Structure 1
Amino acid sequence: MKLKDKVAIVTGAASGIGKEIAMTYAREGAKVAIADLNLEAAQATAAEIEAKHGRAIGVAMDVTDEDAVNRGVEQVVSELGGVDILVSNAGIQIVHPVEEFAYADWKKMLAIHLDGAFLTTKACLPHMYKAGGGSVIYMGSVHSKEASLLKAPYVTAKHGLLGLAKVVAKEGAKHGVRANVICPGFVRTPLVDKQIPEQAQTLGISEEEVIRNVMLKETVDGEFTTIEDVAEVALLFASFPSNALTGQSMVVSHGWFMQ
């Protein structure tokens, strides 16, 4: 097992990409904290892991609330014994042209994606430093590398995660802490499903055209990235045996964006 006895916190892990990462980590021997705004759903995911003889707990966490983040991390340390891996995955999507974007929605998007990454990192690093090592993984996006219409705050936040990861990689190196960013293409989750009719309405095209000509146009095979694709990269970063990849990002997009 690649993560035997490691303790992982995965935010936004009650469903979608976060849930698949949590399940993958548990199969590889990690004790996993399912941190989510929806405590009931987090506990349900933890119960799924426990039913398969893994170790998991559900933790209530609003990643935009510093006190809530600190309480959640302390709960994990108390119940599972520390923090070795943080996957900052919690996120939402709101789409509008810049001139129509409400400032409140802009701030909400940056708070969840960027402030949440900062607050969870800040709370976890002292425990990783004390233990002599760890892995911080941010859920970026292809939009960490380029832009799309209607997604100003999302693109801004996802670009920002690259900078945060590089700083954490440099500051954490002497403590054995690595930092990385995963940059998926479109993954067919409820977050993406919600965007399809919204983009169709805003762009004046059909939902099928949004999928074919917006979301998957630049892929090599016309396929969505899968949650399994992303989870395998999350496992790679969490279990990598040296600092060789620290500070790096990896695009997982079926060729949509190539570096």
Structure 2
Amino acid sequence: MILRDKVAVVTGAASGIGKDIARQFLAEGAKVAIADLNIEGANATALEFDPTGERAMGVAMNVTSEAEVDAGIAAVAAKFGGIDILVSNAGIQIVAPIEDYAFCDWQKMLAIHLDGAFLTTRACIKHMYAQGRGGSIIYMGSVHSKEASVLKSAYVTAKHGLIGLCKVVAKEGAKHGVRANVICPGFVRTPLVDKQIPEQAKALGLSEDDVIKTVMLKETVDGEFTTVDDVARTAVFLAGFPTNALTGQSIVVSHGWYMQ
């Protein structure tokens, strides 16, 4: 168990990628805070994973709220005795041509992806520094941290921004043994992606099958979606890596869609 007795916070963990990361962290011995805007879902997930309540807890967290993030992280540290790992995973998707993209939607996208990453990083890293035992911060980027796609101006901008934040955190955190890395998945068949398929089909004048085959999976080597398990295994590897040899990096998990 490479994460034995480590304390992890995973945002957006009541469902999707975040939930599977939390599951695998627990399997590797970590104590995990399921942080989510949906507190009922967070509590249900924590109970599903650990009915005793000793190694998993739900935390209400709107990652765009400074007060809510600070209070949630403080509660996790108080219950579990510190913070060793942050997975900044909370995110949404809104697609539209740039000429039709509502400014309020642009602001919402950047707030959740970038403000949320900053606020949770700041709250967690203070505990990591004070503890003196290092730590690992993992941002959930995307192949869109490297590449652009039509209809996704705010998403691509935000995901590129996470790489910049990661590099700064890696440099600042190094003397404290705190590492920072970005996971960049391809398309993962989650509700977030399922929602995009009909939206893109309408915007691009394609069938939903064509969106999957000719837009989402066209550049993969095998025509397969990336899975939540693919991403969670990568998160475990990064969380458990023991030295600063692996920091400030962006790891692409995309069935070959993007090759560095």
When normalised by structure 1's length, the TM-score is: 0.99
* 1:61 alignment counterpart: 61
Instruction: Summarize the alignment of residues 44-55 of structure 1 with structure 2, pairs less than 5 Å apart.
Output: 44-51=44-51, 55=55
Deviations 1:225-244 (Å, cap 9, x if unpaired)? 00000001000110001111
* 1:218 alignment counterpart: 219
Give the Cα separation in 2 of the matches to 1:245 and 1:98.
36
Q: Are 2:147 and 1:154 equivalent residues in the alignment? A: no
Change (3 A) 1:54 1:74: closer
Give the Cα separation in 2 of the matches to 1:205 and 1:157.
26
Between the two proteins, the alignment pairs up a number of residues equal to 259
Give the Cα separation in 1 of the matches to 2:212 and 2:126.
43
Instruction: Summarize the alignment of residues 196-215 of structure 1 with structure 2, pairs less than 5 Å apart.
Output: 196-215=197-216
Give the Cα separation in 1 of the matches to 2:244 and 2:116.
25
Deviations 1:146-205 (Å, cap 9, x if unpaired)? 100000000000000000000000000001100000000000000000000000000011
Instruction: Summarize the alignment of residues 69-80 of structure 1 with structure 2, pairs less than 5 Å apart.
Output: 69-80=69-80
Give the Cα separation in 2 of the matches to 1:221 and 1:87.
28
Deviations 1:9-62 (Å, cap 9, x if unpaired)? 000000000000000000000000000000000011101110499710000000
RMSD: 1.0
Give the Cα separation in 2 of the matches to 1:82 and 1:223.
39
* 1:4 alignment counterpart: 4
Q: Any idea what SS the aligned residue of 2:139 has?
A: strand
* 2:107 alignment counterpart: 107
Give the Cα separation in 2 of the matches to 1:131 and 1:28.
21
* 1:243 alignment counterpart: 244
- Is the 8 Å Cα contact of residues 46 and 53 (structure 2) preserved in structure 1? no
Give the Cα separation in 2 of the matches to 1:51 and 1:254.
36
Change (3 A) 1:235 1:52: farther
- Is the 8 Å Cα contact of residues 29 and 54 (structure 1) preserved in structure 2? no
- Is the 8 Å Cα contact of residues 180 and 249 (structure 1) preserved in structure 2? yes
| Matching residue's letter, 2:112 | I
In the alignment, structure 1 segments of 5+ residues that lack a partner are none
* 1:186 alignment counterpart: 187
When normalised by structure 2's length, the TM-score is: 0.98
In the alignment, structure 2 segments of 5+ residues that lack a partner are none
Q: Any idea what SS the aligned residue of 1:181 has?
A: strand
Q: Are 2:190 and 1:195 equivalent residues in the alignment? A: no
Give the Cα separation in 1 of the matches to 2:52 and 2:43.
14
| Matching residue's letter, 1:65 | S
- Is the 8 Å Cα contact of residues 11 and 87 (structure 1) preserved in structure 2? yes
* 1:14 alignment counterpart: 14
- Is the 8 Å Cα contact of residues 27 and 54 (structure 1) preserved in structure 2? no
